[in-house]
Amino acid sequence: MKQLFALCIALFLLQALHAQDQIIKRNGPPIVGKVIQVGTMEIWYKMADNPDGPIYAIDKNLVISIVYANGYVDRFTVDIKDTANYAGQQRKAIKLDFLSPLLGYSQFSFEKSTGVGKSYELSLGIIGLGKSQLLEYFDNTYRTVHKNQFGLFASAGYKFNKLPDFLFGKTRFTHIMQGAYVKPVVYLGNYSENRIIWKGNSDYSVEKQHVSFGALQLEVGKQWVFGEKMLVDVYWGLGYGADNKKGNYGYDVYYDSGGYNYVNQRLGISPGLSLTYGLKVGLLIK
């Protein structure tokens, strides 16, 4: 008898739960209660555990749908460019180019969202804080010398993001700093490195050259945000760059068929086409 009574109580409570309206939010658990009114901007409701209590309101843009007690579902569309949809999200990030130390430098970036689909990014790089390439030459005997590069560069760009992000053909509500983007960006830098000079016959010498470079790039990429804590940014870019760098093994400028400037690679004789690419990982900050 007691078991039957407990089962009846459980069924009653389950029925009572299903008899409530559910407000399905875009972020966080659903609200269970009684919907009083659906307005143009807000939804008014009472909490399930306090039906005689105060009336609460929630921004309509923060709600996906209302599942009423009778089973009817009221769905809502939102303007993805409305900043209210991204309330409470972190809008700043610090990033490190994950691959850069393998390429002979380290790049640190700061990004700040200025609105839905827009942000600016500033970067500072230390050339030499990474792998130093080995140069080889033959001067009566086989010799090697490291580039021993050292210098600084900076860049500034403005991102235009494409929102929302799409996953398996369905629209997914995303973070304000997530999505595919295009970014016009300018690079400026200066560094020194060893260079091998051919002086004729079998006479070579190692010379320290000083390089100044600049480039205007259009970069495309995609950035993912994970758990409001970290992000991953993959990008590549093409643009126009110039520098005073000369290649190894001669003074003649016609040997200068390309220039590797670490964060930026010139293709062909300066000035000419330039290439950038990278993989950044970062943390969201307040």
For residue 14, what is the domain's CATH number?
2.30.30.100
- Kind plus residue range of the DSSP H or E element containing 192: strand 179-198
Decide if pLDDT at 59 tops 60: yes
Residue 67 lies in a domain: yes
Helices (H) and strands (E) in the chain, counts: 1, 20
Same domain, 160 and 26: no
Give the domain CATH number at 195.
2.40.160.20
Same domain, 133 and 164: yes
Query: Residue 280 falls within a domain, yes or no?
Result: yes
35 vs 15, which has greater pLDDT? 35
HEC secondary structure over 76-101? CCCCCCCHHHHCCCCCEEEEEECCHH
Residue 249 has pLDDT above 60, yes or no: no
Q: Which pLDDT tens digit goes with each residue over 28-41?
A: 889 999 999 998 77
Check residue 161 and give left, alpha or beta (phi > 0: left; psi -120 to 50: alpha). Answer: beta
- Predicted pLDDT of residue 100: 95
pTM here is 0.71
11 and 146 fall within a common domain: no
Residue 17 has pLDDT above 60, yes or no: no
pLDDT score of 166: 46
Question: Does pLDDT of 89 surpass 70?
Answer: yes
Of 49, 78, 107, which residue constitutes the final position of a domain? 78
In a shared domain, residues 144 and 27: no
Q: What is the pLDDT of residue 257?
A: 67
Q: How far is CA 198 from the centre of its chain?
A: 44
Report pLDDT for 41: 76
**pLDDT over 70 for what percent of the chain?**
83
Nearest Cα residue to 159 out of 124, 125, 112: 112
Tokens 């850069």 label which residue? 100
Q: Give pLDDT, residue 276.
A: 96
In a domain, 84, yes or no: no
- Between 212 and 117, the more confident residue is 212
Q: DSSP labels for 205-274?
A: EEEEEEEEEEEEEEEEEEEEEETTTEEEEEEEEEEEEEE----SS-S-GGG-SEEEETTEEEESSSSEEE
Environment class of residue 251 by beta-carbon count within 10 Å: exposed (0-12), middle (13-18) or buried (19+)?
exposed
- Tokens 């709600």 belong to residue: 63
Q: Is the N-terminal amide bond of 29 cis, ω within 30° of 0? A: no
User: pLDDT higher for 228 or 96?
Assistant: 96
Q: How confident is the model at residue 252 (pLDDT cuts 50, 70, 90)?
A: very low
- Please tell me whether residues 155 and 109 are part of one structural domain: yes
123 CB-near residues (< 8 Å, 6+ apart):
107, 108, 109, 110, 154, 155, 156
Instruction: Give the domain extent around 232.
Output: 90-285
85 within domain boundaries: no
Q: Mean pLDDT score of the chain, rounded to an integer?
A: 84
Confidence of residue 7 (pLDDT cuts 50, 70, 90): low
Give dist(CA 184, CA 99) in Å, integer.
Answer: 21
pLDDT in tens, 189-199: 999 999 888 77
Number of domains in the chain: 2
| Together in a domain, 108 and 212 | yes
Please check whether residues 24 and 104 belong to one and the same domain.
no
**Per-residue pLDDT at 131:** 93
176 in the same domain as 55: no
Diameter of the chain measured on Cα atoms: 109
- Does residue 48 share a domain with residue 174? no
According to the model, what pLDDT value does residue 71 have?
Answer: 86
Q: What is the mean pLDDT of residues 2-14?
A: 53
Domain boundary among 12, 43, 78: 78
Of residues 170 and 147, more confidently modeled:
147
The whole-number pLDDT of residue 28 equals: 80
Q: What is the pLDDT of residue 77?
A: 73
The reply to whether 108 and 21 lie within a common domain is no
pLDDT of amino acid 162: 82
Is the per-residue pLDDT at 250 higher than 60?
no
On whether both 109 and 15 belong to a single domain, the answer is: no
pLDDT at 242: 93
pLDDT of residue 237: 97
Q: What is the pLDDT of residues 152-187, one digit of tens each?
A: 999 999 999 886 554 434 444 578 898 899 999 999
Are residues 230 and 139 part of one domain? Answer: yes
Is residue 53 included in any domain, yes or no? yes
Given 78, 103, 126, the domain boundary residue is 78
